[in-house]
Structure 1
Amino acid sequence: MFTSLPKLLVGLGAATLLLTGCAKDDDLDLSIAGVAVATADFQELEDAAIRGGVVTTLANKNPNDPQGNFTVFAPTNDAFARLGLRTAADLNALQQPFLTNTLLYHVANGLVTGDALQYGKTSASVLGPNRRFTFRGGSMYVNGSRILATDVKATNGRIHSIDKVLLATGADITSSAVALSTSQVFVKPELTYLVAALQLCKLTDALTKTPGSPAFTVFAPTDQAFKNLMQALALPVTTPAADVQSIANKVGGVDVLAKVLLNHVVAGANGDKFTSELPENASLTTLADSRLLMGPFANGLLTVKGTGNTAPAAMVIPDVQCTNGVVHVIDQVLLP
Structure 2
Amino acid sequence: MKNLSISKYILMSAMAISTLSSCETTSNYEEELPSVANIAVTNQDFSTLEAAAVAGGVAVVLSNPNPGDVSGDYTVFAPTNDAFARLGLNENTLGALQKSFLTNTLLYHVSNGNLLNSAISADVSSTSALGIDRRFVTRDGDTYINGSKILATDVMASNGTVHVIDKVMIASGADIVQTAIALQTAQVFTAPELTYLVEAVLYADLAGALSASEGSPSFTVFAPTDQAFVDLGTALGLTFTKPEDIRQLPVEVVRSVLLNHVIANDGKFTSELSAGAVSPLGGDDLTLGAFTNGTLTVTGLGNSGEVANMVIPDVQTTNGIVHVIDRVLLPNL
Structures share a fold, TM > 0.5? yes
- Alpha-carbon distance in 1 for matches of 2:114, 2:241: 52
On the 8 A contact 2:78/2:163 being kept in 1, the answer is yes
Matched ranges for 1:256-335 at <5 A: 256-268=253-265, 271-280=266-275, 282-310=276-304, 311-335=306-330
Query: What runs of 5+ residues in structure 1 fail to find an aligned partner?
Result: 1-7
On the 8 A contact 1:128/1:168 being kept in 2, the answer is no
Greater alpha carbon shift after TM alignment, 293-302 vs 28-37: 28-37
The alpha-carbon deviation at position 255 of structure 1 amounts to 1.0
Matched ranges for 1:1-336 at <5 A: 8=1, 10-11=3-4, 13-14=5-6, 16-21=7-12, 23-25=15-17, 28-86=32-90, 88-241=91-244, 243-246=245-248, 248=249, 253-268=250-265, 271-280=266-275, 282-310=276-304, 311-336=306-331
SS in 1 for 2:60: helix
On the 8 A contact 1:263/1:334 being kept in 2, the answer is yes
The alpha-carbon deviation at position 24 of structure 1 amounts to 3.9
The alpha-carbon deviation at position 148 of structure 1 amounts to 0.3
SS in 2 for 1:41: helix
On the 8 A contact 2:17/2:34 being kept in 1, the answer is no
The alpha-carbon deviation at position 90 of structure 1 amounts to 0.4
The alpha-carbon deviation at position 120 of structure 1 amounts to 2.6
TM-score, structure 1 normalization: 0.92
On the 8 A contact 2:279/2:286 being kept in 1, the answer is yes
The code of the aligned residue for 2:155 comes to: V
- How many residues matched? 317
- Alpha-carbon distance in 2 for matches of 1:99, 1:20: 29
The alpha-carbon deviation at position 290 of structure 1 amounts to 1.3
The code of the aligned residue for 2:63 comes to: A
The alpha-carbon deviation at position 137 of structure 1 amounts to 1.3
- Alpha-carbon distance in 2 for matches of 1:213, 1:25: 51
The code of the aligned residue for 1:10 comes to: N
On the 8 A contact 2:16/2:39 being kept in 1, the answer is no
On the 8 A contact 1:19/1:38 being kept in 2, the answer is no
The alpha-carbon deviation at position 154 of structure 1 amounts to 0.3
- Alpha-carbon distance in 1 for matches of 2:316, 2:131: 10
- How big is the alpha-carbon RMSD for the aligned residues of Structure 1 and Structure 2? 1.2
- Alpha-carbon distance in 1 for matches of 2:17, 2:242: 58
On the 8 A contact 1:173/1:323 being kept in 2, the answer is yes
- Closer, same or farther in 2 for the Cα pair 1:325/1:150, shift >3 Å? same
On the 8 A contact 2:156/2:162 being kept in 1, the answer is yes
TM-score, structure 2 normalization: 0.93
The alpha-carbon deviation at position 128 of structure 1 amounts to 4.1
Deviations 1:14-65 (A, max 9, x none): 2x32255453446642100011101111100000000000011100000011
The code of the aligned residue for 1:321 comes to: Q
The code of the aligned residue for 1:306 comes to: G
The code of the aligned residue for 1:137 comes to: D
Corresponding residue for residue 4 of structure 1: none
- Alpha-carbon distance in 1 for matches of 2:58, 2:285: 44
Deviations 1:97-132 (A, max 9, x none): 000000000000001001111013100011141000
SS in 2 for 1:235: coil
SS in 2 for 1:99: helix
On the 8 A contact 1:128/1:170 being kept in 2, the answer is no
- Closer, same or farther in 2 for the Cα pair 1:19/1:184, shift >3 Å? farther
Query: What runs of 5+ residues in structure 2 fail to find an aligned partner?
Result: 19-28
The code of the aligned residue for 2:78 comes to: A
- Alpha-carbon distance in 2 for matches of 1:328, 1:82: 14
Corresponding residue for residue 5 of structure 1: none
Percent identity, aligned pairs only?
A: 53
SS in 1 for 2:54: helix
- Alpha-carbon distance in 2 for matches of 1:89, 1:17: 24
